């Protein structure tokens, strides 16, 4: 942690927080479902009462570590700089700021915390930077090339500059095990244990740090995988192993093997990280439950995440749509929204469609066909390197670019004065007057305008532009890049942005959020009250999730509805066990079955009303529901055909609960000035009105050009924009 480094005290603090010192204006009436009223502005009761419990959500991003605290229906946001060498330092720094704010010491504060929800991109970053464990892949003899060949397929077939992807585990670290299980689970060739022990010696010689085991048909009969697990535990103790049938018992060997090897390769790193986080939190006084956000937008225990780190692979970005879903419902009464989360390093786009978060069942780490398939469904999120820390630079041909490289948290933008000399988006926003040098992050960080200008000057000179014009050009390119990412998942999926709202979250969302919404033709751009930490809010709102499945083939023309009922009873029992253990007051359990016509290989989901009063499954109505779903999705159905039911599933969500209507409480930064001088396209330096985020009028709205500011975010409302504050605290900007 920088603050404890030699000389660190003289430098800018690497953590940024705020303290509650004053009043809040314009608080709305609490809604009927509000849990615990927000204290009046001048009431010190906003401080944490020793008797109440606290929930924390923490998202470690590339630049900032965001911490949101929830107590008595009130949310507060704190930010600390991310500490890449040891991210737990940044987490604890954020906790200390929050404790200080609550007027408690760290230990007393953490003792109040019953749930700590954590999200991190550590796993995915390790893969992108090649920083995972040296992993071996063990598979059935004769099938060494499962990871090399994948499932075929290609994008842009006429672009023959594409590089065929390397296997996730190199062939040199792939080992063929003499054994074979057949499609019915029969042992075709027994496991040759003597030969296997020789393979173990090779693994030791190769100094592998993790092992993924995926044998053909282990999903039909796991005996060989289990025996290999035992032998590895005996001969190579301490080397983490993932067995494919345990991690992800799906048909199709490539995607199962890929999931298995990705998971194994993350185990040393993520196991160490999560154990470190848990033990350091406990040492500091935390006695509650530590939960990890999954790639699917739910949470699981940290122990489960360490056992299967692939489940938490993309945990940060998966949370933004969870928050977006709530914002869209609350503020726009809209079922369709584009969620754009602009952090310091990355820009993540996701969608809400028809009031749901679209999932992708074929998740690729990286691009489709050139990345690696994770084998798990996940929230559909597109990420590019663009954010407040993105570096502005020229290429060899003199063309201006922004990102994807980021100044990160260390050294950070030039204007932070921490040794960074590359100009960044944040520097541009400062040069243009959008940011206030004296009021960045509530005044905790003083920005250095001269350093910002000096960093951008070489670029401006090469382009023959004034520094301000170069900064405008850089923001325009940033906007272009972000539009490209949004179009990747909207226009290309046939979504018409003019029928959606744009929900702009993340600390750097305000520089060009309105411009992006305009260019897309969105009905409105929404800046949620706690949008500076959008994905952390999502983590706070997410449910503890559990899913279970049974593969049992039932064909409608030889139906046995008794068997179906037995399966559902078993699923119900396992969901009940989970819910009881979770202690949640509110929960939701969904059942569905994956079904298809004979000879199809891709199923569609049909939801199942269960449990019902009859205690029996009504297969006839399931069959008609399947025909109807097939017709609606694919324009045809085959009512004369039997239907095959394959996989029966339950998903239970235990609501941590009660925070849907929770409100953010922000400190007033310094007394707001009335005007700000901003450099605008065409008109140049212009005096514009300045509003505090919590003091933006509702009716009539504030007209652009204007700047809206809080401790954590600054929104530029361009000319023609109309901004108003909604009852929820969200700022809505229409053009």
**Residue ranges binding other proteins (CB under 8 A):** 141-145, 148-164, 170-172, 182-184, 188, 216-217, 251-254, 487, 491-494, 496, 597-602, 630, 633-636, 638, 641
Strand partners, 210: 135
Minimum separation from the CB atom of position 606 to other proteins (A): 15
Q: How far is CA 735 from CA 263, 447, 498, 705, 720, in A?
A: 46, 31, 12, 11, 6
Q: How far is CA 567 from CA 556, 571, 622, in A?
A: 16, 6, 15
Asked whether 608 and 625 are in contact (CB, 8 A), the reply is no
Closer residue to other proteins, CB minimum distance, 169 or 460: 169
Q: What values do phi and psi take at 544, rounded to 5?
A: -75, 125
How far is it, in rounded angstroms, from Cα 146 to Cα 181? 16
Q: What values do phi and psi take at 477, rounded to 5?
A: -70, -40
Asked whether 446 and 438 are in contact (CB, 8 A), the reply is yes
Closer residue to other proteins, CB minimum distance, 592 or 597: 597
Closer residue to other proteins, CB minimum distance, 218 or 378: 218
Minimum separation from the CB atom of position 515 to other proteins (A): 14
Closer residue to other proteins, CB minimum distance, 176 or 618: 176
Which SS3 state, helix, strand or coil, does residue 425 take? helix
Q: What values do phi and psi take at 375, rounded to 5?
A: 75, 0
Minimum separation from the CB atom of position 566 to other proteins (A): 24
Closer residue to other proteins, CB minimum distance, 198 or 499: 499
CB atoms within 10 A of CB 152: 7
Minimum separation from the CB atom of position 519 to other proteins (A): 9
Minimum separation from the CB atom of position 598 to other proteins (A): 7
Query: Residue 612 corresponds to which tokens in the numbers above?
Result: 């019902």
Query: Residue 530 corresponds to which tokens in the numbers above?
Result: 């706690």
How far is it, in rounded angstroms, from Cα 329 to Cα 352? 10
Asked whether 515 and 271 are in contact (CB, 8 A), the reply is no
Which bin fits 26, alpha (ψ -120 to 50), beta or left (φ > 0)?
Answer: left
Minimum separation from the CB atom of position 422 to other proteins (A): 30
How far is it, in rounded angstroms, from Cα 108 to Cα 400? 51
Closer residue to other proteins, CB minimum distance, 333 or 636: 636
Using the CB atoms, write b or e for 591-610: b if 16+ within 10 Å.
Answer: bbbbbbbeeeeebbebebeb
Minimum separation from the CB atom of position 153 to other proteins (A): 5
Closer residue to other proteins, CB minimum distance, 354 or 700: 354
Give the residue from 82, 110, 111 showing the smallest Cα distance to 98: 110
Minimum separation from the CB atom of position 162 to other proteins (A): 6
Minimum separation from the CB atom of position 486 to other proteins (A): 12
Asked whether 71 and 99 are in contact (CB, 8 A), the reply is no
Closer residue to other proteins, CB minimum distance, 498 or 613: 498
Strand partners, 382: 349
Element (H, E) at 683: none
Minimum separation from the CB atom of position 163 to other proteins (A): 6
Closer residue to other proteins, CB minimum distance, 333 or 640: 640
Closer residue to other proteins, CB minimum distance, 254 or 511: 254
Minimum separation from the CB atom of position 492 to other proteins (A): 5
Beta strand extents in 238-386 (DSSP E only): 241-243, 289-293, 299-301, 337-342, 347-352, 359-360, 364-365, 372-373, 378-379, 382-384
Minimum separation from the CB atom of position 248 to other proteins (A): 13
How far is it, in rounded angstroms, from Cα 75 to Cα 56? 10
Residue at token pair 């006084």? 285
**DSSP conformation letters of 596-633:** E-TT--S-EEEEE--S-TTSS--HHHHHHHHHHHHHHH
Closer residue to other proteins, CB minimum distance, 630 or 725: 630
Minimum separation from the CB atom of position 373 to other proteins (A): 12
User: Cis (ω within 30 of 0) for the bond into 404?
Assistant: yes
- How many residues appear in the chain? 735
How far is it, in rounded angstroms, from Cα 115 to Cα 550? 31
Closer residue to other proteins, CB minimum distance, 196 or 217: 217
Closer residue to other proteins, CB minimum distance, 540 or 623: 623
CB atoms within 10 A of CB 525: 29
Closer residue to other proteins, CB minimum distance, 470 or 643: 643
Minimum separation from the CB atom of position 250 to other proteins (A): 10
Closer residue to other proteins, CB minimum distance, 114 or 487: 487
Tell me the pairing of strands 702-703 and 525-527: unpaired
Minimum separation from the CB atom of position 232 to other proteins (A): 23
């Amino acid at each position: 942690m920088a603050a404890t480094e030699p000389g660190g005290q003289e430098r800018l603090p690497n953590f940024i927080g705020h303290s509650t010192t004053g009043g809040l204006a314009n608080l709305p009436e609490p809604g009927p479902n509000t849990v615990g009223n927000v204290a009046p502005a001048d009431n010190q009761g906003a401080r944490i009462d020793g008797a109440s419990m606290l929930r924390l959500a923490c998202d470690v991003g590339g630049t900032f570590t965001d911490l949101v605290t929830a107590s008595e229906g009130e949310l507060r946001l704190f930010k600390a700089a991310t500490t890449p060498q040891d991210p737990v330092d940044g987490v604890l720094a954020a906790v200390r700021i929050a404790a200080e704010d609550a007027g408690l010491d760290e230990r007393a504060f953490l003792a109040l915390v019953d749930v700590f929800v954590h999200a991190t991109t550590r796993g995915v970053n390790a893969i992108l930077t090649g920083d995972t464990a040296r992993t071996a892949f063990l598979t059935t003899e004769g099938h060494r090339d499962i990871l090399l060949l994948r499932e075929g397929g290609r994008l842009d077939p006429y672009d023959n500059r594409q590089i065929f992807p390397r296997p996730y585990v190199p062939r040199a670290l792939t080992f063929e095990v003499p054994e074979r299980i057949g499609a019915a689970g029969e042992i075709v060739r027994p496991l040759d244990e003597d030969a296997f022990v020789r393979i173990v010696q090779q693994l030791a010689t190769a100094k592998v740090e993790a092992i993924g085991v995926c044998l053909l048909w282990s999903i039909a009969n796991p005996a060989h995988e289990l025996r290999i697990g035992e032998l590895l535990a005996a001969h190579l103790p301490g080397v983490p192993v993932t067995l494919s049938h345990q991690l992800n018992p799906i048909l199709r060997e490539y995607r199962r093997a890929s999931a298995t090897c990705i998971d194994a390769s993350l185990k040393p790193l993520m196991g160490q990280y999560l154990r470190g986080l848990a033990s350091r939190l406990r040492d500091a006084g935390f006695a509650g439950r530590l939960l990890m956000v999954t790639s699917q937008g739910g949470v699981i225990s940290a122990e489960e995440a360490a056992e299967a780190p692939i489940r938490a692979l993309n945990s940060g970005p998966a949370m933004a749509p969870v928050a977006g879903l709530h914002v869209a419902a609350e503020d726009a009464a809209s079922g369709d929204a584009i969620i754009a989360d602009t952090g310091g390093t990355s820009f993540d786009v996701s969608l809400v469609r028809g009031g749901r978060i679209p999932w992708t069942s074929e998740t690729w780490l990286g691009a489709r066909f050139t990345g690696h398939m994770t084998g798990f469904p996940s929230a559909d999120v597109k990420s590019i390197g663009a954010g407040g820390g993105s570096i502005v630079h020229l290429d060899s041909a003199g063309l201006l670019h922004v990102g994807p490289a980021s100044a990160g948290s260390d050294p950070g933008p030039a204007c932070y004065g921490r040794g960074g000399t590359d100009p960044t988006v944040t520097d541009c926003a400062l040069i243009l007057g959008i940011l206030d040098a004296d009021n960045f992050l509530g005044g905790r960080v003083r920005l250095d305008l001269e350093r910002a200008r000096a960093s951008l000057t070489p670029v401006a000179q090469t382009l023959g532009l004034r520094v301000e014009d170069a900064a405008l050009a850089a923001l325009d390119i940033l906007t272009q890049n972000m539009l490209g990412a949004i179009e990747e998942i909207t226009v290309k999926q046939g979504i018409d942005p003019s029928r959606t709202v744009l929900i702009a979250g993340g600390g750097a969302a305000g520089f060009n959020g309105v411009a992006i919404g305009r260019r897309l033709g969105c009905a409105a751009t929404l800046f949620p009250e706690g949008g500076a930490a959008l994905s952390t809010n999502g983590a706070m709102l997410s449910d503890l999730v559990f899913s279970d499945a049974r593969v049992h083939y039932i064909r409608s023309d030889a139906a046995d509805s008794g068997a179906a009922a037995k399966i559902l009873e078993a699923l119900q029992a396992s969901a009940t066990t989970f819910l009881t253990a979770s202690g949640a007051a509110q929960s939701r359990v969904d059942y569905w079955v994956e079904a298809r016509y004979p000879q199809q290989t891709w199923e569609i989901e049909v939801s199942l009303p269960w449990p019902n009063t009859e205690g029996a499954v009504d297969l006839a109505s399931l069959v008609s529901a399947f025909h109807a779903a097939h017709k609606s999705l694919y324009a045809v159905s085959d009512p004369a055909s039997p239907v095959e039911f394959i996989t029966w599933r339950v998903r239970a969500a235990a609501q941590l609960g009660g925070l849907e209507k929770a409100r953010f409480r922000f400190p007033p930064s310094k007394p707001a000035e009335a005007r700000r001088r901003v450099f605008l396209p065409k008109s140049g330096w212009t005096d514009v009105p300045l509003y505090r985020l919590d003091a933006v009028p509702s009716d009539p709205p504030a007209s652009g050009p204007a700047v809206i500011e809080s401790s954590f975010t600054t929104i530029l409302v361009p000319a023609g924009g109309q901004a108003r504050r909604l009852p929820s605290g969200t700022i809505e900007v229409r053009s």
